Amino acid sequence: MSANKPDLKLIKNDTPGGENEAYTVAMGPQHPATHGVLKLDLELDGETVIKCRPTVGFLHRGVEKLAENMSYAQVLPLTDRLDYIASMANNVAYSIAVETLLGIETPLRAKYIRTMVMEMARLTGHLLWLATHALDIGAMTVFLYCFRERENLLDMFEELCGARLTTTYTCIGGVRQDVTGHFLETLYAFTEEFPSRVKEYETLIDQNRIWLKRTKGIGVITAEQAVSLGLTGPSLRGSGVDYDVRKHMPYDAYPFVEFEVPIGSEGDVYDRYRCRMEEFLQSNSIIRQCIEQLPAGPVRAEDAPDLVMEYNPAKKVAADATFSSGIIKLMEDRDRYMQGDVYVAAEVPKGELGFYFVSDGHGRPYRMHIRSPSYIHIGALPYLCEGYMVADVIANIGSLDVVLGECDR
Amino acid sequence: MGLLEIATLIQDRYPDQVIEVVTCREQAGVILHKEKILEICRWLHDDPVLQFNHLADLCGVDYLHKKDVRFEVVYNLYSIPTKRRIRLRAQVPEDDCWIDSVTPVWIGANWHERECYDLFGIKFKGHPDMRRILLPEDWEGHPLRKDYPLDGGRRNWRGYDEVKEKARRLREYDFYGMYEDPTKKIGLKDVSK
């Protein structure tokens, strides 16, 4: 518990009309610091938040219901619209989940490319987080610096797949196109320069007294509480819990590259900020290793399903083993679309993005559930905000790094 | 640690609660009756060996016309210290559509359960704040149920009548005849003549 957090029991909450009456302020859904359409009902005593009630769902598009009437390949573009800051990471997470369900083995080159683009997405996501988080707290210059590098990365995405934000670059069983030599050269040159850029951001804010006052000891959450709340990603690691899906359940090329998982200790806004700043350098190192180790070969599995997957499995022609007279019969190819359920998670910039699939043996998901980190993080917001000042609510939202498109699905 | 070891542990401890142990793509799931779900979750969470401290995911599934018991509530649990994973699937019949809330075990289950109530209509007993979350509070029906109509029907959208009534009242101020002739422009004199 931090020193500047007051005891909530001491705050008097008088009857309506009294001198110490708490009053309610609606923050959002059009507030610039809520990063989208998040509404917070804040019950205030002076400037202290007594109660915080988040309201979400303004951006609910029913992705899970839509997916039930689409083939697995058709759902992929919908995942771009979840976390639109780093859509490449969602594509990879979704592809991995479907590949696990359908039992498709991705070629090694595709695995390396996907690891590379996922870390690029992590850089874009964290850059936008740092830009807006610093802007919310009052540092304007950082915003401009971050967008300079983010622009470079988005240009590279454009070269890779033609789109800057809604990429849909991966596909089930690999990636859509191979990378070009020019792309790898540009990216490698970027990774050589990027650590010095991170130093630039750090010189701007790391020792800044205003920044430290606004972030140290604010929004403290203990390790036990953070795990119980279901926080994942840098928000959890800031509290000192070593949980990273990339290390715990390695996927794609993560077992082949070396990287460290930065861990905080205090669990305040500053430690969550430090974790993400360290991740910049780790992601940068992973991209470099991927380019250096990139093997040759195909980028798409041979048995990867077509874009148009049949609702009913194809009937294959097979010779009847019991007759030697040459009689052939049609058998249903049920091997691919197996019945069952899987839960597969991946580490996206915000945390653990999980897909839970129930398959009934057809080419469409019978049920798809998206475990989105932002949804859980906003649910944890009252535990971070209550007892602090109303200005710290902004710092807390920024430190959790939420995107409402992913939250509301 | 084998794939089915934890599933076997649950089966040994609660033989009357476990219906079936299923595996799919090297993931193990345990299908349970709903009665003792809170007790089982608390045991999995508190046991010093198992330590399932991370509720990764909680969601509902509707098996309309596919299984005898219509709904299932799925708990994907993960143990951060021991790196193990187990999936619990509690069966919830349609005519007795409730299950115990696991918010006393994991605080983070709060919003998961609200979402499940919102989209499936499964009530969670003991939940501190059982309201809709993603949809408006006056929404009718639970959209992720398989019998929810995909077509919106011929009804007008909510608020249509109010807007129409407002438009009717505004006609009283139609001094220039704009409502009668929408192409008519007001306030602009034609200077070409």
Instruction: Write the CATH number for A236.
Output: 1.10.645.10
What pLDDT digit, counting tens, does each position of A65-81 carry? 888 888 888 888 899 88
Partner-chain contact B56 A231, CB within 8 Å: no
Is B83 inside a domain boundary? yes
Between positions 243 and 272 of A, the ones with CB within 8 A of B are: 243, 248
Chain B CB contacts of A362 under 8 Å are: none
Is A339 inside a domain boundary? no
The model carries a pTM of 0.84
What pLDDT digit, counting tens, does each position of A86-135 carry? 899 999 999 999 888 888 888 999 999 999 999 999 999 999 999 998 88
Q: Quick one: pLDDT at residue A13?
A: 52
Partner-chain contact A243 B29, CB within 8 Å: no
Count of the separate structural domains present in chain B: 1
Is A310 inside a domain boundary? no
Q: How many CB atoms lie within 10 A of CB A339?
A: 13
Mention every residue, 6+ apart, whose C-beta is less than 8 A from residue B27: A341, A342, A343, B85, B87
3-class secondary-structure state, position A278: helix
Is B174 inside a domain boundary? no
Is A335 inside a domain boundary? no
Is A100 inside a domain boundary? yes
Is B180 inside a domain boundary? no
How many residue pairs from chains A and B have C-beta atoms closer than 8 A? Answer: 98
CA pair distance A397, B125, nearest whole angstrom: 30
Q: Quick one: pLDDT at residue A126?
A: 92
Q: Which tokens sit at B26? A: 């090297």
CA pair distance A273, A136, nearest whole angstrom: 14
Q: Give the CATH number, domain containing residue B124.
A: 3.30.460.80
Is A355 inside a domain boundary? no
Q: Quick one: pLDDT at residue B184?
A: 64
Is A330 inside a domain boundary? no
Arithmetic mean of pLDDT, B101-127:
90
Q: Could you tell me if A11 and A50 are in contact, meaning their C-beta atoms sit under 8 angstroms apart?
A: yes
Judgement on whether residues A196 and A127 belong to the same structural domain of the protein: yes
pLDDT at A5 > cutoff 80: no
What pLDDT digit, counting tens, does each position of A370-388 carry? 999 999 999 888 888 888 8
Judgement on whether residues A96 and A125 belong to the same structural domain of the protein: yes
Is A361 inside a domain boundary? no
Q: Quick one: pLDDT at residue A191?
A: 92
What pLDDT digit, counting tens, does each position of A10-61 carry? 455 555 555 566 778 888 777 776 677 888 888 888 788 888 888 888 888 8
Partner-chain contact A60 B135, CB within 8 Å: yes
Q: Quick one: pLDDT at residue A2?
A: 43
Is B9 inside a domain boundary? yes
Judgement on whether residues A31 and A71 belong to the same structural domain of the protein: no
Q: What Rg, from alpha-carbon coordinates, does chain A have?
A: 24
- DSSP per residue, A25-85: EEE-SS-GGGSSS-EEEEEEETTEEEEEEEE--TT---HHHHHTTS-HHHHHHHHHTTSTT
What pLDDT digit, counting tens, does each position of B127-174 carry? 888 888 888 888 888 888 888 888 766 677 778 888 889 888 887 777
What pLDDT digit, counting tens, does each position of A222-256 carry? 888 899 998 998 989 988 888 989 888 888 889 89
Partner-chain contact B76 A343, CB within 8 Å: yes
Judgement on whether residues A51 and A67 belong to the same structural domain of the protein: no
Mean pLDDT of chain A: 83
Q: Could you tell me if A132 and A143 are in contact, meaning their C-beta atoms sit under 8 angstroms apart?
A: yes
Q: Could you tell me if A301 and A173 are in contact, meaning their C-beta atoms sit under 8 angstroms apart?
A: yes
Q: Quick one: pLDDT at residue A3?
A: 44
Partner-chain contact B61 A367, CB within 8 Å: yes
What pLDDT digit, counting tens, does each position of A265-309 carry? 888 889 999 999 999 999 999 999 999 998 988 888 877 776 655
The band of A218, judged by pLDDT with boundaries at 50, 70 and 90, is confident
Partner-chain contact B74 A356, CB within 8 Å: yes
Q: Quick one: pLDDT at residue B73?
A: 92
Q: The sheet that has A351-360: what strands, in order across it?
A: A339-348, A351-360, A367-371
Mean pLDDT of chain B: 84
Judgement on whether residues A47 and A122 belong to the same structural domain of the protein: no
Judgement on whether residues A160 and A26 belong to the same structural domain of the protein: no
Judgement on whether residues A21 and A156 belong to the same structural domain of the protein: no
Is B154 inside a domain boundary? no
Q: Range of A46's domain?
A: 8-55
Is A2 inside a domain boundary? no
Is B55 inside a domain boundary? yes
Judgement on whether residues A244 and A279 belong to the same structural domain of the protein: yes
Q: What percent of chain A has pLDDT over 70?
A: 86
Judgement on whether residues A45 and A68 belong to the same structural domain of the protein: no
CA pair distance B169, B162, nearest whole angstrom: 11
CA-closest candidate to residue A351, choices A256, A227, A215: A227
Judgement on whether residues A16 and A151 belong to the same structural domain of the protein: no
**CA closest to B131 among chain A residues:** A55
Q: Quick one: pLDDT at residue A15?
A: 53
The band of A194, judged by pLDDT with boundaries at 50, 70 and 90, is very high
Nearest C-alpha of chain B: how many angstroms from A192? Answer: 35
**Residues in B lying within 8 Å of A, measured between beta carbons:** 22, 24-25, 27, 29, 53-57, 59, 61-62, 66, 74, 76, 80, 83, 85, 87, 106-112, 115, 119, 133-136, 143-144, 150
Nearest C-alpha of chain A: how many angstroms from B121? Answer: 15
Q: Range of B45's domain?
A: 3-145
Q: Which tokens sit at A322? A: 């019991």
The band of A215, judged by pLDDT with boundaries at 50, 70 and 90, is confident
Nearest C-alpha of chain A: how many angstroms from B60? Answer: 9
Is B182 inside a domain boundary? no
Count of the separate structural domains present in chain A: 2
